[in-house]
Amino acid sequence: MELTINTYKTKDNHAIICIYTVSIALNQLFRAIFVLLKKNCSMAHKSGFVNIIGFPNVGKSTLMNSLVGEKLSIITSKAQTTRHRIMGIVNGDDFQIVYSDTPGVLKPNYKLQESMMQFVYSALSDADIILLVTEMGMAIDLHEDIIQKITRMNVPVIVVINKVDLAKSQEAVVEAMDAWQVRMPEAKIIPVSALHKFNQEALLTEVLEKLPENPEYFPKDQMSDKTMRFFVSEIIREKILISYKKEIPYSVEVVVDSYKEEEKIIHIEALIYVVRESQKGILIGHQGIMLKRIGTKARHDIEAFVDKKVFLSLQVKVLENWRDSDLMLKRFGYNQN
């Protein structure tokens, strides 16, 4: 206790002693509040959109999953695996990074691919920071059109040279960094291996340094802008892409028709759309064996993602020409208009 003693005298000269006690704990509380207020006033919150751009198969999805710490984007060896713009949110006490994985840059051959490129253009237009992802051995000249578009955005750019673990030598990595620095002198060049999480901390440090001061855009406990139905459909599509070759991976679309969560199990019904009857037969397989394999593999991954038992029902339907149908593309979430 801290004691404050005041003495007074009455008219008949008797002393009255008044003792005021102040709790040390209360003093400490006031000091803590003062320090906290001072800290908050001096520490700005950073938040922004860090959008990942690049050609197919350079490791954009692997990079985002690594940075976010969750598998939000499906990964296969096939081009055009990523069709949507997928946001992954990383939160700290004084920052929020909203990463965006985007489809690989390509020349569209049908309306689905046109819609995919619209996701890329939207990511360019609203970026606070652009991560231009390339890979070891890829010529800078191939990126000329992307570089021109990025330069017009007038935002900080980080060139991420991925797959340095496959480089022939350290000198080759340095040469690649120097070449990119000459072409984009205002950009920061960072070599990484997204698969092995090499140099990830250096990339995060650079992102935080360039991140603008803003309030948070999403609640601090939110992981992505996408729904659980979306992630389930992507997991199913990933298993199809891994299991089939030729035209089926590029002709298929997955829609979760029903998602019912109970206390101990989640019941999911999904439709797999293809463009031809022959593809339906291949996808289902003899006596349904191929579809059962797809369902089993997808169910295991979905259960790991939702941390709960899952009952998964799959059906295959033919929907001709859906990739060039504005109506169906809008229904499937590709048409942003």
Q: Is 60 annotated as contributing to ligand binding?
A: yes
Q: Is 59 annotated as contributing to ligand binding?
A: yes
Amino acid at 231: F
The number of CA neighbours under 13 Å toward the Cβ of 169 is: 3
Cβ 295 vs Cβ 312: under 8 Å:
yes
Report which of 252, 291, 296, 256 is spatially closest to residue 274, judged by C-alpha positions.
252
- Give ∠ CA 210-216-219 in degrees, rounded to 5: 140
Q: Is 163 annotated as contributing to ligand binding?
A: yes
Burial of residue 211 (number of CB atoms within 10 Å: 0-12, 13-18, 19+) = buried
Q: Is 104 annotated as contributing to ligand binding?
A: yes
Q: Is 58 annotated as contributing to ligand binding?
A: yes
Q: Is 178 annotated as contributing to ligand binding?
A: no
Amino acid at 275: V
In order of 252, 268, 289, 303, the CA distances from 232 in angstroms are: 15, 9, 21, 10
Q: Is 68 annotated as contributing to ligand binding?
A: no
Q: Is 128 annotated as contributing to ligand binding?
A: no
DSSP letter at 266 equals E
Q: Is 260 annotated as contributing to ligand binding?
A: no
Taking the C-alpha atoms of residue 211 and residue 99, their distance in angstroms, rounded to an integer, is: 12
Q: Is 159 annotated as contributing to ligand binding?
A: no
- Give ∠ CA 320-85-191 in degrees, rounded to 5: 125
Q: Is 39 annotated as contributing to ligand binding?
A: no
Q: What are the DSSP calls for 102-129, one per residue?
A: -PPP---SSHHHHHHHHHHHHHHHT-SE
| Residues of the binding site | 54-61, 101-105, 162-165
Feature table: binding site for GTP:
54-61, 101-105, 162-165
